[in-house]
Amino acid sequence: MAYRAFFALPAENFTTAQGQHTNAIYGFATMLISLLKDEKPTHVAVAFDVSRKTFRTEIFPEYKANRAETPDEFRSQMSYLNELVKGFGIPQFSLEGFEADDLIATITKRAEKDGAEVLICTGDRDSFQLVTAQTTVLYPKRGVSEMARMTPESVQEKYGMTPDQYPDFAALRGDPSDNLPSIPGVGEKTAAKWVVEYGSLTELLAQAATVGGKVGESLRANIDNLVRNRELTQLIHDAPITFEIDALAWKGVDDSNLTALFEQLEFRTLKDRLKAISTAPATVKDVQKSKNTDSAPSLFGAEIASEILSVKEGDAKIASHTGPIAIACELVDDQLQRYAVALSKSSAFIVDSAVMGAWASDAKVKKIAHDGKAIARQGVLTGVVFDTSLAAYLVNPGVRAQEVSDLLERWGDGSQLDESSAEQLLLTTACALFGLRDSLTAELENRGLTKLYNELELPIADLLAIMENRGIAVDKKELQTLAAFFDAEVARETKNAHEAAGHEFNVASPKQLQVVLFDELGLPKTKKIKTGFTTDADALSWLFEKTSHPVLAALLRIRETKKLATTIEGLVVEIKSDERIRTHFAQTVAATGRLSSVAPNLQNIPVRTEEGRKIRNCFIAGSGYDALLTADYSQIEMRIMAHLSNDEHLLAAFESGEDLHATVAAEVFGVKASDVDPEMRRQIKAMSYGLAYGLSSYGLAVQLDLTPPAAQDLMDRYFERFGGIRDYLMTVVDDARKVGYTETVMGRRRYLPDLLHDNRQRREVAERMALNAPIQGSAADIIKQAMLNVQRALIAGEYKSRLLLQVHDELILEVVKSEVDSVSELVRMQMGSAFPLKAPLDVSVGIGASWNEAAH
């Protein structure tokens, strides 16, 4: 749980004046206080792992071997965690050779014998096997703040089986996080089906010969792995630890020691939270009393909410409540269930309905929200004047934890969320948005980000919601035809691989691949890894270049087509009843400001291969429209590089209007542009783009298959001709190190504290980010501004044609025939004027019946 807290809370936001990281300790303490306050336990125990060496690693040395090294920032907090638990007055257990889960299982079984009700808080699903009528697992659903109560009924509901059957299911499913191998071709659904059908793994294995099909073959080929998996997933109920249940009675916190620790760790707000937990075990009477005195939240219907928030006065509707309101929404599978409306920091009510009134789509009723786009995309919300998730992202885009509870830890004004019930959480979340709005507004101002927030990020969220609501039309039948083709390709190439090897084998099994490639066929060895020699895609490509063996050609084709088939599967399941796909544009994920596309990801559809383009051909103009229009920027990153570096030769290359890379190659190699051959052009293109990503001469050598001295010579010649680029790349990192951040052409900041880190690898990663962020971030700013320009011009001209997608540096519109020429010119003008770069923006436009046909 401490490790979860470490990744849930940004380390850079939780550091003492002496440089001690405290995010894991803070998150763990917060969770502990919440558990003690909400569950009011009479007895408490905490168990810790000692090391990764346990009896399980003796059975299976690869157990958890894939896990990354424990970060130094977390390791430095461990002793404080032990001190923290001691200060809470809680006994703690650890034992060499056993995992913490084994100790919890041992304590649980002993407590059950004493008739106790047991609550286990852990992030390990193996603990589900301990669930009984007496024992519930509190499993974290999000970060460390929201828990699922796993009872026998909820385990049955989620997995279709009893807790006793769960270890059998886990053994069949495998566990990538523990490095336990799965059965090739057998996913969670099949594993669950077998457990339910046969009753147990033992019975399944006894009848393994009767299981048909490829999954049956796979099962029989992996029996040894399954038996071992089952042994490893079973928790030990009798670990050799000495304790008495009575000794676990919780008598309250050790105030003096805990307060001193909080002072040392600079936890100012946690001292107040300690008051919320009793220093003595709660009695049933106390709990009943507290329940009786709790005030019930106000629950209204949508009609009453509309009466509160708006009235009609003639034809004009005005808000009856002056000032903005704040909205907190409860979503299930992205669908609105109910919501809370706060009129101030202390006044709120819940609307127990998914319906929003006319006030929600009235821009005159100003709203504060957290991720307002999640509701706006459903076409029911406008007028969001402050979005706390967008503001927090802009203030520090490197932080992943951006829930309201996380923001309150960093930017709160003392407001706290009441998690005593779902209703209270919803109400207090809505109220807390006012304080967050005030704090983040001040922070945006302090960091010079107010204009970027108000004029770019907030308006683009509104536009993205509209685009998400529209979606894009697809030809479902054509997609399904492609899927069948790729499945047939996989089957055909699998047969070819078997023939080339001389026997059948599992093409998806790294272990079997190693035997076939290196032992049987005697092919050159690839990179050594813990389980032998790597058989990843790069390794197979390298082997094929070296040997041209037909088994490798088949394996590479299988991987290529499987990847495409997976892409199509992801698209087909997202097609709605109106034959359109609606992606989600993630606005607060990429630290550079780039938009991401998820559920489904439309940015990962290949464009350079013929088969990838076949997938794009399935995206078409929808009913009422005649074609798709695509428009993208030509070489925008290099234009930004020219702008930022002010390199006269690179600017001149753009002004010439000739092929950029050929022109630059001519400069570097000292030849005429007409004498530049394809290899020269390829080398210079790799160099130009690679420099913006911190490419070293060694990296260039690997990429271009040159010797390191030859690569260094090429780099030296490049910089000799383009000294402005060299000077810019040198100064951008130094400048960022001085101020702690980089900036884009529109002032977007990326904070990089690791530029001053003692660890060389961490520092070098941050340096590469400092090189790349201004260029990537500026491209993100420009395409967002272009989208706003295009949208405003379409509305002003009352066009029917409309904006659908943004994919990297490309915009995709749905157009009607009569508007093709005027909209093409409009898009070219509005994109081209998004920002006044010294190397002017160049826009290419294409029209076609499909996304592929509209390519240019």
Q: What is the DSSP letter of 593?
A: S
Task: Using a cut of 0.95, tell me whether the model's pTM lies above it.
Answer: no
d(CA 628, CA 622): 9
Which residues sit opposite 312 in a β-bridge? 317
Question: Residues 505, 438: one domain?
Answer: no
Which residues sit opposite 54 in a β-bridge? 97
Burial of 784 (0-12, 13-18, 19+ CB in 10 A): buried
Considering the domain boundaries, does residue 610 fall inside one? no
Considering the domain boundaries, does residue 817 fall inside one? no
Angle of the 78-87 helix axis to the 255-264 helix axis, nearest 10: 150
d(CA 621, CA 618): 10
Cβ(843)–Cβ(634) below 8 Å: yes
Question: Residues 437, 492: one domain?
Answer: no
d(CA 666, CA 672): 6
| Residues whose CB is less than 8 angstroms from the CB of residue 522 and which lie 6 or more positions away in sequence, other chains included | none
User: What CATH number is given to the structural domain containing 743?
Assistant: 1.10.150.20
Question: Residues 98, 240: one domain?
Answer: yes
d(CA 211, CA 198): 11
Angle at 511 between CA 508 and CA 513, to 5 degrees: 60
pLDDT at residue 291, rounded to an integer: 30
**Backbone phi, then psi, for 589, in 5-degree steps?**
-105, -60
Question: Residues 336, 388: one domain?
Answer: yes
Choose among 662, 667, 635: nearest CA to 775. Answer: 635
Which residue among 748, 778, 808 closes a domain? 778
pLDDT per residue as tens digits for the range 716-775: 999 999 999 999 999 999 999 999 999 999 999 999 988 988 888 888 888 989 999 999
Considering the domain boundaries, does residue 793 fall inside one? no
For the four alpha carbons of 772, 775, 781 and 786, in that order, the dihedral sign comes to negative
d(CA 505, CA 157): 37
For the four alpha carbons of 372, 375, 376 and 377, in that order, the dihedral sign comes to positive
Q: List the structure tokens of 501.
A: 């090897």
Question: Residues 25, 156: one domain?
Answer: yes
Cβ(486)–Cβ(571) below 8 Å: no
Is the N-terminal amide bond of 163 cis, ω within 30° of 0? no
User: What CATH number is given to the structural domain containing 369?
Assistant: 3.30.420.10
Q: List the structure tokens of 770.
A: 């400092």
Question: Residues 459, 481: one domain?
Answer: no
Quick one: how far is CA 847 from the chain centroid?
Answer: 34
Choose among 289, 341, 282: nearest CA to 310. Answer: 341
Question: Residues 685, 744: one domain?
Answer: yes
Question: Residues 446, 480: one domain?
Answer: no
User: What CATH number is given to the structural domain containing 66?
Assistant: 3.40.50.1010
> What is the 3-class SS of 49-103, one letter each residue?
CCCCCEHHHHHCCCCCCCCCCCCHHHHCCHHHHHHHHHHCCCCEECCCECCHHHH
Which domain does 153 fall in, by range? 2-161+236-248
Helix (H), strand (E) at residue 208: none
Considering the domain boundaries, does residue 172 fall inside one? no
Question: In 10 A of CB 115, how many CB atoms?
Answer: 8
Question: Residues 772, 646: one domain?
Answer: yes
pLDDT at residue 145, rounded to an integer: 62
Q: List the structure tokens of 733.
A: 């990192």
d(CA 465, CA 468): 5
> What is the 3-class SS of 422-487, one letter each residue?
HHHHHHHHHHHHHHHHHHHHHHHHHCCCHHHHHHHHHHHHHHHHHHHHHCEEECHHHHHHHHHHHH
Considering the domain boundaries, does residue 512 fall inside one? yes
Considering the domain boundaries, does residue 359 fall inside one? yes
Question: Residues 445, 489: one domain?
Answer: no
Cβ(170)–Cβ(125) below 8 Å: yes
Which residue among 778, 800, 825 closes a domain? 778
Question: Residues 449, 477: one domain?
Answer: no
Cβ(585)–Cβ(806) below 8 Å: yes
For the chain, the straight-line distance linking the first and the last C-alpha, in angstroms and rounded, comes to: 51
In the β-sheet with 384-387, what is the strand arrangement from edge to edge?
A: 299-300, 348-351, 335-342, 325-332, 367-369, 384-387
Question: Residues 494, 387: one domain?
Answer: no
Considering the domain boundaries, does residue 505 fall inside one? yes
Cβ(621)–Cβ(475) below 8 Å: no
Please give the tally of structural domains in the chain: 4
d(CA 316, CA 314): 6
pLDDT per residue as tens digits for the range 646-671: 999 999 999 988 889 999 999 999 99
Collapse the DSSP code of 443 into the 3-class scheme (helix H, G, I; strand E, B; otherwise coil) and give the result.
Answer: helix
Instruction: Tell me the DSSP string of 365-397.
Output: S-EEESSTHHHHTTT----EEEEHHHHHHHH-T
Residue position matching structure tokens 């960091």:
447
Cβ(824)–Cβ(630) below 8 Å: no
d(CA 655, CA 663): 11
In the β-sheet with 619-620, what is the strand arrangement from edge to edge?
A: 580-581, 472-474, 619-620
Quick one: how far is CA 441 from the chain centroid?
Answer: 26
Which residue among 439, 471, 503 closes a domain? 471
What residues of the chain score a pLDDT lower than 50?
278-294, 311-321
Choose among 481, 482, 504, 480: nearest CA to 494. Answer: 504
d(CA 419, CA 428): 9
